[in-house]
Amino acid sequence: MSTPKILYNAKDSPHLNSGYGIMTRYLTPLLAKRYGAKNVNIMAPVYQKDHILKYRGMNVLPGTGFDFGENIILEHYNATGSNILLQVGDATPLGALPDLAAKNQVLWVQWMPVDFLGTPKNIVNRIQFAYKIIPFTKQGEAMLRQAGFGNVDKAIWLGLNTKLWRPQERKDLPKVMQSLNFREDTFNLLIVGANQERKRLRQQLEGIALFRAAVKQANPRLYIHTTISAGERDIAADLDELGLADITTYPTQYSMVTGGFGEDKMVAIFNCADVCLNVCMEGFGYSMLQAQSVGVPVIYLTAGAGPEIVVNGAGVSPLNAETLRNQMASAIPDVQQIAEALEVMWRKRMDAGKPLRSEKAIQFVQDNFAWESIAGQWFDTIDRIMVDQERYCYQVPPSSDDLELRARTIVEVN
Amino acid sequence: MKAEEAFELLKSEGRERLTAVEIERLGKEECRKAILKVIFYQDLDFVSIAGGAELTDRAHFIAGIRRGHDITLVTPSTPDPDIAFAPADLVIVSNASMFQPAVFQRLQELGRHYVMFLHDYWFRCQYRLFYPMVPRCMQCHYREQWLPALLGARFIIWLSPLHRESWLKMTPELTDKPYALVPSPVSSKEFFDMGLPRKGVIAVNSMLAFKGRKNIIRWIEEHPDQQVTLVGADDNPGDLLPPNAHRVARVPQHELNDVYNRHEAFLHLPNSPMPFDRTCAEAYLAGCHVIGNELVGALSWPFFKEGREAVAEALADAPNQFWKVVEGCL
């Protein structure tokens, strides 16, 4: 097997505290450990511009725009002598890459979320040219296989730093509790999500408002970890309208952009919650995993990744679906069921007289999501691709030495 | 009347078929030799397309018809796919890379005899015309996929000694398979010395990577005193060439003899084994001095060492050789 030379493009820099940034941070060093740092190049068009940085011995290559950097992806691929492009993230924004793959200019492996209902042409037209599609979930794998994709490979879940993501006692986190406006006698709700429309923040807030109105003694508190007024929605306006502003805390934009929320801080925040809400169509849903890693129950949507990733919590059915601008259909959660799930969780919390913590969920995360385990699955996949590349001769091989010699032996006929 | 006589009769009288009386006189067995129901698999309609393999197949097809055979051409675009499996004495599988292995499995199940007429390496390599012959070719999935089809053939026809040698190197299972070597037919009526003033060197389609582009450029650089005309496709048409070389757009087949005749030498230096490379034969018959290498299939034929007359004779007789082999294999 020849050595893989991987161009890893998860869009986000390993220094960025986004989901994709964290994935890059943990997975690429393990890839580098196996294949050599010089054989793993990170492409990070988000937050990496006009120069090349180093991360754990690997190059972090820049982009020219706030996107997947497709305009220079081929240049990076060729300049680094890569033979695999490991592209991570949504496939829908991709424009140039499918063309490059169709022309065999890159060997494109797409690790992607399947966070849509059905398989719109928009998706088919793009990912049909990937050499391999590795969905984030088994549910996504099954869906793409059902849609007729022959290039779908075994799903690989996302990983977590399981040494860091462990349960902590709330009593040891008084400052964090205070910063979130959480108390021991309040019902502490947590929502984490940058993509406010896809995360269905509006419906989740409506569910909380219904719950609050129905169960007056619950005394809920909400912490939303998102950019409150500069994102896709004006969340502050939603909170006002729904009467939730008085119980809601959120981070300042300044603290978000100045690194105020490193992973260790987020671990503490999750540990302070009674329930994590993530009631939306997910391709994976990092916050569901993070909540479970510390034993916090999750309220999730029964469509998408939720039922596969969550072992402790309550499922909410979709009420309807909406076709988005890119022709992808997204499920809309049933707001009434969100309120009911909250009430169930609140009653359990009251009955227990202490925060609900699931050992089963903690063990599930420890057993299945350590980055070493995820990387091991990637090694299998990459090694298999390399063997296949040779067997199927994905790239035109050079002539044998014997042929080179014979090519130099001139034969003349007069 | 024996089959050979019947063929001669048809040829001399310019007829395509034997009469019923002649068939009766010939007898059943001889008739079977003389008139075969043949299905001819080809990717392309060689009547209207003039690639190297298609020119060869066209000549053989016409010769077969002239010998009285009933030949049906089947391409992937043949409207009724069942025609490919219609009753026949023989199926000739020529340049048929678009026919899947299942087709050959079915031929075997139906008990059909088929002859593999190999023009390149498509059973062995997805790059078809470029065959690297590296050790990993032994593990190639193409080999696994197609070997049963090759082993099931009644007979294999290669285009040159080098062609067979290259196949056997990575497919030794075919060593004991009945075979014949039949060169590409090139007519000395089409390619001949016109007595024109000659100057410089010509290369045709050599600027494709698999045809040895880098070898050609190296040769041009090493021979700055030679003016080289590069005809046909180029993988990198934007690249600057050495000052003693220039490109010429594609030359139509019917003008090639004239173009060869204006050059002293023909240059061809592939870097993977060429099954035949008819341009070498064309240029040679057109009076060019040929500069090739050990990977030109045509130059592996002994008759290329015996002068132009011997080459002309062997290549003119190629269609007859082809059909004698085909008729004899039943």
Chain B residues with beta carbon closer than 8 angstroms to that of A392: 126, 141
Helix ranges, A232-370 (H): 235-242, 253-257, 263-271, 286-293, 306-309, 335-352, 359-368
Q: What is the pLDDT of residues B75-87, one digit of tens each?
A: 888 878 788 899 9
CA A411 to CA B305: how far, in whole Å? Answer: 11
Q: Does A397 touch chain B (CB under 8 A)?
A: yes
What are residue A225's DSSP bridge partners? A192
CA A241 to CA A8: how far, in whole Å? Answer: 43
Mutate to test the interface with B, among A384, A392, A400, A412 (most CBs of B within 10 A): A400
One domain, residues B70 and B206: no
Q: What is the pLDDT of residues A293-344, one digit of tens each?
A: 999 999 999 999 999 999 999 999 999 988 877 777 889 999 999 999 999 9
Mutate to test the interface with A, among B162, B295, B311 (most CBs of A within 10 A): B295
One domain, residues B205 and B310: yes
Q: What is the pLDDT of residues A18-47, one digit of tens each?
A: 889 999 999 999 999 999 999 999 999 887
Q: Does A2 touch chain B (CB under 8 A)?
A: no
One domain, residues B219 and B246: yes
Structural domain for B235, as ranges: 201-315
Chain B residues with beta carbon closer than 8 angstroms to that of A413: 284, 289-290, 292, 299, 304-305
One domain, residues B48 and B176: yes
With contact defined as beta carbons under 8 Å apart, do A281 and A117 qualify?
yes
Is it the case that residue B33 has pLDDT exceeding 60?
Answer: no
Q: Which residue in B has a C-alpha nearest to residue A404's C-alpha?
A: B271
Q: Does A391 touch chain B (CB under 8 A)?
A: yes
The total number of structural domains in chain B stands at: 2
Residue B93 lies in a domain: yes
CA A208 to CA A383: how far, in whole Å? Answer: 47
One domain, residues B121 and B245: no
Mutate to test the interface with A, among B121, B122, B133 (most CBs of A within 10 A): B133
**Helix (H) or strand (E) segment spanning residue A59:** strand A58-61
The number of angstroms, rounded, from the C-alpha of A144 to the middle of its chain's C-alpha atoms is 18
Chain B residues with beta carbon closer than 8 angstroms to that of A398: 132, 134
Residue A378 token pair: 């990637």
Residues A106-127 as b or e (16 or more Cβ within 10 Å = b): bbbbbbbbbbbbebbebbeebb
Q: Which CATH number do you get for residue B177? A: 3.40.50.2000
Q: Average pLDDT of B131-142?
A: 84
Chain-wide mean pLDDT for chain A? 92
A392/B126 touch (CB, cutoff 8 Å), yes or no: yes
One domain, residues B17 and B147: yes
Q: Does B185 touch chain A (CB under 8 A)?
A: no
Is it the case that residue B29 has pLDDT exceeding 60?
Answer: no
Between strands A329-333 and A318-323, the pairing is antiparallel
Q: Which residue in B has a C-alpha nearest to residue A397's C-alpha?
A: B132
Closest Cβ opposite residue B295 in set A393, A403, A412: A403
**Helix (H) or strand (E) segment spanning residue A397:** none
Question: Residue A230 — very low, low, confident or very high, per pLDDT cuts 50/70/90?
Answer: low
Is it the case that residue B28 has pLDDT exceeding 60?
Answer: no
One domain, residues B214 and B259: yes
Question: Residue A196 — very low, low, confident or very high, per pLDDT cuts 50/70/90?
Answer: confident
Closest Cβ opposite residue A412 in set B134, B212, B290: B290
With contact defined as beta carbons under 8 Å apart, do B193 and B153 qualify?
no
One domain, residues B120 and B170: yes
Which CA distances in Å does A268 have to A173, A290, A298?
7, 11, 17
Q: What is the pLDDT of residues B257-301, one digit of tens each?
A: 999 999 999 999 999 999 999 999 999 999 999 999 999 999 999
Question: Of the segments A9-13, A34-38, B5-9, which one has the largest average pLDDT value?
Answer: A34-38
pTM of the model: 0.68
Chain-wide mean pLDDT for chain B? 88
CA A321 to CA B314: how far, in whole Å? Answer: 74
Residue B55 lies in a domain: yes
One domain, residues B145 and B40: yes
One domain, residues B302 and B246: yes
Residue B149 lies in a domain: yes
